[in-house]
Structure 1
Amino acid sequence: MIHALRSTVLLLIAVCFLACRQQPSGSKPPVRSSGEIEAREDSLQLQAAYARQRLIQWSITPDAETRAIHANSEEDAADDPAIWVHPTDVSRSMIYGSNKKGGLASYNLTGEEVAYYAIGNVNNVDILDQFPLGKDRVPILGCSNRTHQSIDLFRIDMPTGELKPVTTDTLFTDPALVDDIYGFCFAVDRQTNTAYCVINAKNGLVQQFRMVDKGGRIAMELARSIQMDSQPEGMVADAETGFLYIGEEGRGIWKTAIDPSAGTQKTLIKGSDDSNPNISYDIEGLSMYKDGDSGYLVASSQGNFSYAVFERLGDNRYVGSFKIVDGNGLDGVEETDGLDIVRDSLSPMYPRGLLVVQDGFNYEGETMVPQNFKLISMTKVLELLK
């Protein structure tokens, strides 16, 4: 946090970045220590991030938020959300949010916490619908667990959204290869009807594991490895087009085939790197809005508190960037790690889908409180892009 006894120099810097923040008078200074933040690793970086955010022209406001996560306001703890759409009653859909300081929470669509699972320091989370397990097809939630250096998989209980373990054993990563597990996503190869778990690590290694049904439990088989030049994290797969997208935090977004036979071949998406003035590292969360044969790839641009949008098809042309600012009685969003999108009509508030993003600076009035997740109607995003 920016402590009250900081030097005069740091106080002056704080005044500068307050002037950059786009919000009403009585602006709220961050209260994180420089050692616990990313864009805020020093006050000059923070000031620059707000200044870069001002250059983003498109803006929208949040519609709702989850309760604050189980952490202190000083901690960078919330990370990645995943949305589960209930198959028979969309009003009972759930949001699962990771907590890097101890677990995973579930929330309803109004942001109320339903359950908390103290399973370890969970980083990234994803959901796979209709996985064939035993005689059933069930929704599976998966996540990267940094406490145990493992892949954790759960079956989502249909009526309640409760998480139930579903693996043959703890799925540990290989410590000789994986230097701190980070990113996680599911991928499905429609050509072979094969489902995969994909992880990445701090040392740049990406591993893709085949999911295998072992008597109603899930086991893993390594299908391929890809070595990135630097640390990746956010990932998303598009089963319909057959591509896996990997965000390399300090480089851009890479595209490779889900089919493991593609090996290490990958392509950097044009406009996802620093050649685009609206991209400011780190590249963090990735998600996809699928609308029939079209749609969008959305990425968190953490260095300017914004979101870059690319076409889903073809060469993934860059479309534009937007930011989430104060409105509807809620604070705006900064320094997003993970995000998730669904296109299902969930309620009158979310008729064309829902965007959920992690908020790195969460405020109640003038006070910084523990981080949370913000909910935004996809209608707002689509109106910007039309």
Structure 2
Amino acid sequence: MSLLNKNKIVKSTILLSAFYFFSCNSGSKLPTITPDIITEKTLNDTDDPAIWVNPKDASKSIVFGTDKKTNGAIYAFNLDGKIIENKTIRNIKRPNNVDLEYGFKINDSTATDILVFTEREKQQIRIFSVPDMQPLDNGGFPVFVDEKNAELKLPMGVAFYKSKLDDSFYTIVGRKSGPKEGYLYQYKLTAANNLIQANLVRKFGKFSGKKEIEAIAVDSEMGFVYYSDEGACIRKYYAEPTKGNEEIACFGGEYFLEDIEGIAIAKLEDKKGYIIISDQQKGQFNLFDRTTNNFVKAINLSTLETDGCDVVTVPLNNTFKSGLFVAMNDEKNFYFYDFNRLIK
């Protein structure tokens, strides 16, 4: 073979490789899935959603979403994307992430669903009842109180864990910046005088030091907590404190362009399902198998710079017949999708 032909082959190979890399990393080959509903806009900067399924009438379920500024709020939206003003919590000092859990026993005879969110500028978490939206925390629980460096006391990510061992409730909290070991704090929630108390039970979780940790999601059924070490991987630990602090896995980093962001656990029958994670700068979402954590596929939901996301896999109404996936969009709103449109 002549040198000229060899050079042509080398150049062609380089061009094909470059085209393949660009195509894979631009998302240009993925078909666009447009939202079924786009919510009304918030005042400032949306970040993270949590879905409450109304047990009496699923069509009246609520999507809560944070609006992340000093004059922030936890917005409540109906399934048409309209703001429910009397369920919205305003005047929150930079709320960041939010989560929801069902059936907390506030006393011997009463259980309530509860909402938790971080209030970064006050260095605390807040807990409210759902759907009546009453505070249950006596004004908030300070977090990372033993941390001497003020820059390492600013909470961001938060998630509930409901133990299958004894129905105990926990909240796991991350922060804007932190050490390379013990980045997350886990608090056990208990009831006293119709209020909730939070007590620190462990510190755990590695951090690469590359960017930050924000998104946290717990699979209570499987007993795992996942969080996004944004510049490295998705980290996986046991959610049950008695099972220790050893890292189970650090996976998926090679599938993301830059920041690994919001995490949603899609639970299907027989412990099947997906871990859905925002590939923020790529404008896509990566789906991983819930059981094996193997990569399944990437999808383009047409969102911009998605931070948080959430999902439920039960029918809600005629629009969301298979469940609801909610993604933050960088235009002060959230996008709603029927769940099956993500996986079919």
TM-score, shorter chain, exceeding 0.5: yes
Q: Is 1:84 paired with 2:52?
A: yes
Please tell me whether the aligned partners of residues 93 and 109 of structure 1 are also in contact (alpha carbons under 8 angstroms): yes
2:253 to 270, 273, 295: 273
Counterpart-to-counterpart distance in 2, 1:242 and 1:51: 33
Alignment of 1:45-84 (within 5 A): 52-55=25-28, 57-71=30-44, 77-84=45-52
**Equivalent position SS for 1:59:** coil
Give the fraction of aligned pairs with identical amino acids, expressed as a percent. 27
Deviation at 1:227, TM superposition (A): 4.3
Tell me if the contact between 1:61 and 1:324 (Cα under 8 Å) persists in the aligned partners.
Answer: yes
Any gaps of 5 or more consecutive residues in structure 1? 1-47, 72-76, 326-332, 363-370
CA distance in structure 1 between the aligned counterparts of 2:22 and 2:137, rounded to whole angstroms: 42
Cα deviation, residue 56, structure 1: 5.3
8 Å CA contact 2:205–2:247 kept in 1: the answer is no
CA contact (8 A) 2:23 2:29 kept: no
Larger Rg: 2
TM-score, L = length of structure 2: 0.84
Q: CA deviation at 1:282?
A: 0.9
- 1-side partners of 2:144 and 2:52: how far apart? 30
Highest relative contact order (Cα 8 Å, sep 6+), 1 or 2? 1
Question: Pick from 262, 269, 283: which aligns with 2:260?
Answer: 283
**Tell me, what secondary structure is at the counterpart of 1:381?**
helix
1:380 aligns to what SS in structure 2? helix
Aligned to 1:100: 68
1:255, CA displacement in angstroms? 0.9
Which residue is 2:133 aligned to? 163
Q: Which amino acid aligns with 1:156?
A: V
Q: 1:253 to 1:51 in 2, by over 3 A?
A: closer
Alignment partner of 1:201 out of 175, 178, 197: 175
1:377 alignment partner, one of 322, 335, 338: 338
How big is the shift at 1:292? Answer: 1.6
User: Alpha carbons of 1:324 and 1:201: their partners in 2 closer, same or farther (altered >3 Å)?
Assistant: same
Q: Which of 109, 117, 123 is 2:89 aligned to?
A: 117
1:1-386 aligned within 5 A: 52-55=25-28, 57-71=30-44, 77-101=45-69, 102-115=72-85, 116-118=88-90, 119-134=92-107, 135-157=109-131, 162-177=132-147, 178-204=152-178, 205-229=183-207, 230=209, 231-270=212-251, 272-274=252-254, 276=255, 279-293=256-270, 294-313=272-291, 315-325=292-302, 333-360=303-330, 362=331, 371-383=332-344
Deviation at 1:303, TM superposition (A): 2.2
Give the drift of 1:58.
Answer: 4.7
In 2, Cα distance between equivalents of 1:108 and 1:167: 25
Deviations 1:41-91 (A, max 9, x none): xxxxxxx999833345253111111101112xxxxx110011111111111
What is the CA-CA distance between 1:262 and the residue it aligns to? 3.1
Query: Which residue of 2 is the match for residue 27 of structure 1?
Result: none
TM-score, length basis structure 1: 0.76
Distance 2:23 2:83 in 1: 31
> What letter matches 2:245 in structure 1?
T
Structure 2 CA distance for aligned equivalents of residues 222 and 287 of structure 1: 25
Code of the aligned partner of 2:188: R
Relative to 1, partners in 2 of residues 1:56 and 1:81: Cα closer, same or farther, differing over 3 Å? farther
Tell me how large the CA RMSD over aligned residues is: 1.9
Contact 1:58 1:321 in 2 (8 A): no
Letter of the 2:173 partner, please give it. I
**Structure 1: distance between partners of 2:22 and 2:261:** 15
CA distance in 1, matches of 2:118, 2:79: 24
Aligned-partner SS, 1:105: strand
Q: Hey, what's the Cα distance between the residues in 2 that align with 1:247 and 1:261?
A: 23
Aligned length: 306
Note the C-alpha offset of 1:150.
0.7
Aligned-pair CA distance for 1:136:
1.5
Ranges in structure 2 where 5+ consecutive residues have no aligned partner: 1-20
The 8 Å contact of residues 144 and 150 in structure 1, kept in 2 or not, is answered as: yes
- Please tell me whether the aligned partners of residues 143 and 153 of structure 2 are also in contact (alpha carbons under 8 angstroms): no
Does the 8 Å CA contact 1:143/1:184 hold for their aligned counterparts? yes
Q: CA deviation at 1:353?
A: 0.4
Measure, in 1, the Cα distance between the counterparts of 2:29 and 2:264.
Answer: 20
CA distance in 1, matches of 2:194, 2:118: 22
Quote the Cα distance in structure 1 between the aligned partners of 2:29 and 2:227. Answer: 24
Letter in 2 for 1:233: E
